[in-house]
Structure 1
Amino acid sequence: MTQQIDTQVFAYARQFADSAFKAQALVLKGLEQAAGLQLGTLEQQSRSAAEFLLAAGELRDADGLRGLWDKGVALSRAQTEQAVALTQSLAAVGRQTAESLGALVQPLQAANDAVAATAAATRKAAAK
């Protein structure tokens, strides 16, 4: 009876270790995707800001300043839209990662229940 429990516990431990490795890989993949999205947005916003500053440096009169104001408003709007899109993308990556991690837990729960049932049966048999 002890050998049966040992076999189940070792199988459960192996399954747990495999699932932990897969979970780590999923989390790292999610972090990599999130970092890539953030860096891409940062690059776009930096490029837009540099172009705006370049245009500001070339101003020569009041009419240019009015045009710069319009460019500044457009830049602000574009960067806000990019930030909202980034937030939605990050939420999607987080949700996808969480769902994948949840799928990894299901087999572990079944194995845990099997080991607990065997242990309870062993205790009951030993008590007789």
Structure 2
Amino acid sequence: MLQQFNSQFIAASKQFSDTLFKAHTLALEGFERITDLNLKAIDGRVQATTEFFTTATESNDVEGFKNAFPKGVNLIKEHSEKLYNNGQEVLGVTLKTTEALTQLAKGAFESANETVTKQVNTVTKQVNDAAKKAAK
């Protein structure tokens, strides 16, 4: 009986560790995609800001500053739009990762439930058979 318990415990532990490894992999892949999106967004915004400041610092007179002002307003608008779009993409990746983790957990619970149900049915049958033999 102890051997059966040990083998079941080892199988359950292996299944649990496999599930955790898959969950860890999914979480890291999601984190990697989010980091990549954020780095690309930052890179694009740094380049646009650098170009704007280069243009603005080259202006020596009032007319140059008048021309730089609309470009600055446009830059702020672009930053806001890019920030919003990046946030939407990050949210999408987060939702997909969460959905994948949920499906993984659901599969693990269903598998564990199936295993336990089989074991309970087996033990119940053994006990019933033993009780019938003892009754004879």
Alignment TM class, shorter chain as reference:
0.7 to 0.9
**For residues 1-128 of structure 1, what are the structure 2 equivalents within 5 Å?**
3-117=3-117, 118=119, 122=123, 125=127
Shift of residue 15, structure 1, vs aligned partner = 1.6
Q: Which runs of 5+ in 1 are unaligned?
A: none
Once the two structures are superposed, what CA deviation does each residue of 1:42-62 show, in whole Å capped at 9, x if it has no partner? 101100111111011110221
TM norm structure 1: 0.84
The one-letter code sitting in structure 2 at the alignment partner of 1:76 is I
Q: Which runs of 5+ in 2 are unaligned?
A: 132-136
Percent of paired sites with the same residue? 27
Larger Rg: 2
Q: Highest relative contact order (Cα 8 Å, sep 6+), 1 or 2?
A: 1
SS of 2:82's equivalent in the other structure is helix
TM norm structure 2: 0.80
SS of 1:60's equivalent in the other structure is coil
Shift of residue 14, structure 1, vs aligned partner = 1.5
Shift of residue 8, structure 1, vs aligned partner = 3.6
Shift of residue 116, structure 1, vs aligned partner = 4.5
SS of 2:43's equivalent in the other structure is helix
Once the two structures are superposed, what CA deviation does each residue of 1:44-93 show, in whole Å capped at 9, x if it has no partner? 11001111110111102212111100000000000000100110010001
The CA RMSD over aligned residues, in Å, is: 2.4
